[in-house]
Amino acid sequence: MINAQGISQFSNSYSFVTQNLYDAMSNTLAIIIQKDNIGGLLLNGQSLSILNPTSMPAFHPTEKYVSVFVNVSHSSYFHLYHNGGEKFGAVLYGRFGSNVAYGYALHVELRNAECGNPSGHVSTPHYPHISDQGNGTWCFNCDDMTHLKYCDAVDKCQNDQEVCYVQRYVGTLGVNMYKSGCINKQQCNINYNSSGCFECCRDNFCNSAGCGDNGFQEQENRGPMCFDCSHKGENELCHATKLCHTNQLCSIKKYEWGDNDFQYAMGCTDSQVCTSERVGAVRMVRNTPLCAQCCRSDFCNMNCSLVDTVPAIVG
């Protein structure tokens, strides 16, 4: 029996390895995806169509989905993803003897406290305070990077037809370079040769990693990634970011600016400074903020009234 994923746990990218143990018989990849999205499936950068897949329609009430089956080799690394960022389910199964079989979902999230993981570990984080800011997705937006972790700018895509992307290419000195940003999802179906890569994804800041680059470290090994802007007005977006030190927190301060106007300052602040400001300053002092808040999660300093409940980019 195999524990398959629920639709809410589908992902747009999976990396997995088939072991030597499984080489006696077969390894089969079962993919569950909406019918209209099959064409965007890629395995190690190649279309599934060249692997002679078989398919089987799903039954009511999930008739808009289809199951696709592909045989894969043993002792190999695979990257299965959708070049349009569409999410799908994936299960690997097979036999290594006449009486022994195996099977497992390629991605499962534990969300129940009874499982010993009350906060859950998700591969793509959710940012409720950011995703509520209109319809567009937030993406990293940088050019000519040697590694994606050095990107210090973000952008909000224009509408729900745009997704995040990562592109890897070879620079003038023969070194792998990266760029990232927003792109119309119809443009995600781009084929690259063995020296290049183009991947799309649909969640906020999901292009912090991709195309073989692991992006940021786990947050327990680094400080938070914070918005880093001064003199931003009410409802104005900050596009600059900064990776703080491990002894720092994200901060946001709100100041009065004349009559009926406000400006905001966002960035990194030492933990001791946050503690002293939390005690409270007398409002009569010049330039004392109306609101001063610190938080420790990635991109938590967008709004001065929000409580810090947001997970990190990685981990």
Tens digits of residue pLDDT in 16-65 = 777 555 444 578 889 999 998 888 898 888 888 888 899 888 877 778 89
pLDDT attached to residue 162: 92
Residue 94 φ/ψ region, left for φ over 0, alpha for ψ in the -120 to 50 degree band, beta for the rest: left
> Would you place residue 101 in the very low, low, confident or very high pLDDT band (cuts 50, 70, 90)?
confident
pLDDT higher than threshold 90 for residue 226 = yes
Q: Tell me the C-alpha distance between 206 and 138, whole Å.
A: 8
Look at residues 98, 4, 92, 80 and name the one whose alpha carbon lies nearest to residue 42.
80
pLDDT attached to residue 96: 63
> What is the pTM for the complete model shown?
0.57
The CATH number for 128-208, chosen from 2.10.60.10, 3.90.1150.10, 3.30.460.20, 3.30.70.260, is: 2.10.60.10
Degrees to nearest 5, angle at CA 217 with 168 and 232: 85
DSSP β-ladder status, 162-170 and 197-201: antiparallel
Residues of the chain with pLDDT > 70: what percent?
A: 76
26 or 109: which carries more pLDDT confidence? 26
282 or 294: which carries more pLDDT confidence? 294
Percent helix, percent strand, percent coil in the chain, to nearest 5: 15, 35, 50
pLDDT attached to residue 305: 67
The Cα-based distances of 272 to 67, 83, 268, 300 in angstroms read 55, 45, 12, 18
CATH 2.10.60.10 in the chain is located at: 128-208
Q: Tell me the C-alpha distance between 253 and 264, whole Å.
A: 6
- Report the mean per-residue pLDDT for the chain: 78
Q: Tell me the C-alpha distance between 205 and 300, whole Å.
A: 13
- Long-range contacts, 282-291 (Cβ 8 Å, 24+): 287/255, 289/253, 289/254, 289/255, 290/254, 290/255, 290/256, 290/262, 291/252, 291/253, 291/254
CB atoms within 10 A of CB 89: 21
Average pLDDT over residues 100-125: 53
Average pLDDT over residues 282-290: 59
Fold of 220-295: CD59 (2.10.60)
Helix (H) or strand (E) holding 277: helix 271-279
Condensed to tens digits (0 to 9), the pLDDT of residues 159-204 reads 888 999 999 998 878 889 999 999 998 888 765 555 688 899 988 8
Strands (E), 107-175: 138-140, 154-156, 162-170
The structure tokens listed for 97 are 């003897």
pLDDT attached to residue 132: 42
> Would you place residue 308 in the very low, low, confident or very high pLDDT band (cuts 50, 70, 90)?
very low
Average pLDDT over residues 218-245: 90
Cα atoms in the 13 Å half-sphere on the side-chain side of 178: 24
> Would you place residue 276 in the very low, low, confident or very high pLDDT band (cuts 50, 70, 90)?
low
The structure tokens listed for 158 are 């224009």
